[in-house]
Amino acid sequence: MHRLDHTPHSVVLGGAGFVGSHLCDLLLSEGHQVTCVDSLVTGRAANVEHLLGRSDFEFVATDIRNDIPVDGPVDFVYNMASPASPKHYFELPILTLETGSIGTQKALDFAHAHGARFLMASTSEVYGEPEIHPQVETYWGNVNPIGVRSVYDEAKRYSEALVMAYRRELDADTVIVRIFNTYGPRMRPDDGRALPAFISQALSGDPITIHGDGSQTRSFCYVEDLVRGLYLAATSGECGPINLGNPSEVSIKGFAAEVVELCGSTSQMTFHPRPQDDPTVRRPDITQARKKLGWEPRVERADGLARTIAYFREELSHPDPTRRVMPAAAADRGPVRAAERRAETRTSRRNRRDAARR
């Protein structure tokens, strides 16, 4: 356990996202000074709005592919920054790869320069379409390196390799956690993941969209449980990788039925083609987390779902559910934004060229 004789300073990269914002809340409740760094590419200002103005909280709008402009001393760096929903990383494939590679390296350099402990938020997606079930940390995975999901899966696998290289070569103080499907308040209703889609559809009485026959399984962890696991991992002396997730496994069809019932909805399920490389099964083996961190999930699915549905009811009634602009901080993404603009121009040039050929 890391013990400090001063107020710890934690920097949460991706802190305005779904998981990152709950982590900021937990760290503040543990007495940390918190700096949230986020480009808001997929996160939302609304997630940390309640923290703005506190003397122990700061928001820095930047992209971690640039240098991270935060002054020390820094004790902990949590790297949560990355598009995480398939919808987002399909839309932003190069940004996703660059965030996992250039961004993770910038984040490691930043942590190392400050002598801070570094937590890497990796993912169960490193296991790909698993041949071992439930997934244990010693399993190396089965990932399609050129499929549409590879921009996320391989970025995270590269991040893990980079973290281990910094640890071995530079003696950096690091821990890798592999997060399994997590849910809870502050998921974006429009982020395309199964749960926000099911709840939004059930609450509005629309058909529930199931990809495939719904027999594929997932294991859903409530966000409050997850962030406690992240905190325990960061303050332990472990290096991981350690799985964090809820081992209670459910079929997607069964999960959709639970959501419909808890929403008191009459929505019917409709079945659509399964996306490429969508994993058939997912369940964490959490023996390591239990043994090394004394962690296991506490929140039952019915309880977590009830809290999430209550949040979505409120959120969907908001006049601007996509609100994501930080009023005071008009995200300055500097050179990266300029590079993206150049890329956009290249894309429109290519589209014009393709149109001229047709």
Which strands make up the sheet holding 57-61, listed edge to edge? 57-61, 33-38, 9-13, 76-79, 117-123, 174-179, 242-244
Question: Would you say 104 or 265 has its CB closer to ligand NAD?
Answer: 104
Can you give the binding site for ligand NAD, defined by CB under 6 A? 14, 16-20, 38-43, 63-65, 80-84, 99, 103, 121, 123, 179, 181-182
Distance separating alpha carbons of residues 274 and 136, to the nearest angstrom: 25
152 among known catalytic residues: yes
**Smallest gap from residue 278 Cβ to ligand NAD (A):** 15
Partners of 177 in the beta sheet? 121, 242
- Strand pairing partners for 243? 178
Nearer to ligand NAD (CB atom), residue 48 or residue 260: 48
Q: How far is the CB of 356 from ligand NAD (least distance, A)?
A: 34
Query: In the complex, what is the shortest distance from the CB of residue 279 to ligand NAD, in angstroms, rounded to a whole number?
Result: 12
Q: Which of 78, 127, 152, 231 is catalytic?
A: 152
Give the residues across from 9 on adjacent strands: 33
Provide the minimum distance between the beta carbon of 255 and ligand NAD in the complex, in angstroms, as a whole number. Answer: 14
Judged by beta carbon, residue 227 or residue 293, the one nearer ligand NAD is 227
Taking the C-alpha atoms of residue 159 and residue 120, their distance in angstroms, rounded to an integer, is: 8
Please name which of 108, 90, 224 lies closest in space to residue 173, comparing C-alpha atoms.
108
Which CB sits closer to ligand NAD, 34 or 267?
34
Measured from the CB atom, is 13 or 208 closer to ligand NAD? 13
Smallest separation, CB 74 to ligand NAD (Å): 16
Give the integer Cα–Cα distance in Å for 133 and 315.
Answer: 36
Tell me the C-alpha to C-alpha distance, in Å, between residue 316 and each of 210, 264, 287: 21, 16, 38
- The amino acid present at 163, given as its one-letter code, is V
Residues marked active site are found at 152
